[in-house]
């Protein structure tokens, strides 16, 4: 357990120092938000319907930036090999990276939401609080698969370009359910109305955290 914590700490210290992940993810999100505003010609009526989808498109694309950078950092000076030389179960390395990345991506999600509210003038009914668990579950599933694939992508010829190609078809169920749930929250309805979407989201998280933890060693080890 102290090993998992050490990996998380290392990633947080690195991020606090370089701020690379946050700057890239947040700048990207801001730009996309602005572009969406222009593209929709500032007509709030039109935007309202599309906001949940836009939110998750922005969020996942920003997340891809962060994920690919996260593993590129491990490759610098081949630090990851130093990590692999230690007698550490590979799934612990996976969990350490997943928890760290989930924290980063989740925080970015929590910043994007108020940004959307502000830019698109969303007068919402009730509370946005139920969005917090939705964004958390979304971040977790996204990072669970994304961490596995980014470890894979940095080791291929296409590098970072490959990550979204691998990741997006797989996370379609996650995006669909998260968009559905976010839509309900923005309409002021309770999450329980989207029970099947919530179940799907949780199922996605559980299935892929388990599966990716098992196959991670095959991706990270040379051969």
Partner 1 sequence: MRDSLTDNTYDIKAEGLGKSFGPVEALRGIDLNVESGEFYTLFGPNGAGKTTFIKILSTLAKPSSGKLTIAGHDAVKDPDGVRGVTGVVSHDPFLYENLSAFENIKFFGTMYGVQDADGRAVELIDRVGLGKRMHDLVRNFSRGMKQRLAVARAIVHDPGILLLDEPYTGLDQHGARVFGEMLSMLKSDRRTILMTTHNIEEGLDRSDRVGILAGGRMVYESLREGLDREAFREIYISRVGDA
Partner 2 sequence: MRKALAVLTFILMAASLYAAFVYAPTEPKMGHIQRIFYIHMGTVWVATVAFILVFASSVMYLWKGTRKWDILAYCSAEIGVVFLTITILTGSIWAKPVWGTWWTWEPQLTTTFILWILYIVYLVLRSSAGSDQKKAKFAAVFGIIAFLDLPLVYASVRVMRGISPVVFGPGGGGIAPQMMHALLINLAACSLLFVLLLLERTDLERMSDELAVLKTREG
Question: What is the SS3 assignment for 89?
Answer: coil
With CB under 8 A as the contact rule, the residue among 32, 61, 72, 88 that binds partner 1 is 88
Region binding partner 1 by CB under 8 A among candidate stretches 12-20, 33-41, 60-68, 185-193: 12-20
219 scored as a contact of partner 1 (CB under 8 A): no
Distance CA 147, CA 64 (A): 10
Distance CA 80, CA 62 (A): 24
Q: Would you say 95 or 142 has its CB closer to partner 1? A: 95
219 scored as a contact of partner 2 (CB under 8 A): yes
Residues 6+ apart with CB under 8 A from 140: 98, 102, 205, 209
What binding mask, one character per residue, do residues 130-149 give for partner 2 by CB under 8 A, x or -? ---------------x--x-
5 scored as a contact of partner 2 (CB under 8 A): no
Residue 91 CA, distance from chain mean position:
19
With CB under 8 A as the contact rule, the residue among 156, 187, 188, 193 that binds partner 2 is 156
Q: Are the C-beta atoms of 54 and 182 separated by less than 8 Å?
A: no
Provide, rounded to whole angstroms, the least separation between the CB of residue 220 and partner 2: 10
CB-based burial, 89-113: b 16+ in 10 Å, e otherwise? ebbbbbbbbbbbbbbbbbbbbebbb
With CB under 8 A as the contact rule, the residue among 43, 127, 192, 223 that binds partner 1 is 223
Q: Would you say 96 or 164 has its CB closer to partner 1? A: 96
Distance CA 135, CA 132 (A): 5
Distance CA 115, CA 26 (A): 10
Please count the other Cβ atoms lying within 10 Å of the Cβ belonging to residue 43: 9
Say which entry of partner 2, partner 1, none residue 192 contacts (CB below 5 to 8 A, set by partner kind): none
DSSP state letter for 222:
-
35 scored as a contact of partner 1 (CB under 8 A): no
* Near partner 2 in 89-108, by CB under 8 A: none
14 scored as a contact of partner 2 (CB under 8 A): no
Where along the sequence are the contacts to partner 2 (CB under 8 A)? 145, 148, 152, 155-158, 162, 165-166, 169-170, 172-173, 176-177, 180, 194, 196-197, 200, 203-204, 207-208, 211-212, 215, 218-219, 223
């Amino acid at each position: 357990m102290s090993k998992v914590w050490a990996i998380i700490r290392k990633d947080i210290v690195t991020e606090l120092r370089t701020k690379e992940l946050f700057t890239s993810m947040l700048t990207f999100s801001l730009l996309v938000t602005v572009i969406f505003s222009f593209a929709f010609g500032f007509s709030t009526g039109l935007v309202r319907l599309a906001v949940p989808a836009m939110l998750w498109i922005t969020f996942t694309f920003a997340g891809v930036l962060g994920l690919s950078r996260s593993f590129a950092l491990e490759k610098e000076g081949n630090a990851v090999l130093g990590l692999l030389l230690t007698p550490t179960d590979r799934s612990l390395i996976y969990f350490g990276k997943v928890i760290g990345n989930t924290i980063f991506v989740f925080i970015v999600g929590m910043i994007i939401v108020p940004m959307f509210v502000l830019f698109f003038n969303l007068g919402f009914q009730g509370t946005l609080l139920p969005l917090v668990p939705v964004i958390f579950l979304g971040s977790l599933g996204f990072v669970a698969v994304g961490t596995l694939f980014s470890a894979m992508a940095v080791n291929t010829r296409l590098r970072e370009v490959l990550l979204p190609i691998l990741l997006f078809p797989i996370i379609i169920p996650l995006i669909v359910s998260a968009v559905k749930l976010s839509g309900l929250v923005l309409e002021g309805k309770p999450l329980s109305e989207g029970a099947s979407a919530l179940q799907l989201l949780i199922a996605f998280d559980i299935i892929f955290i388990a599966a990716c933890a098992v196959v991670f060693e095959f991706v990270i080890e040379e051969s």
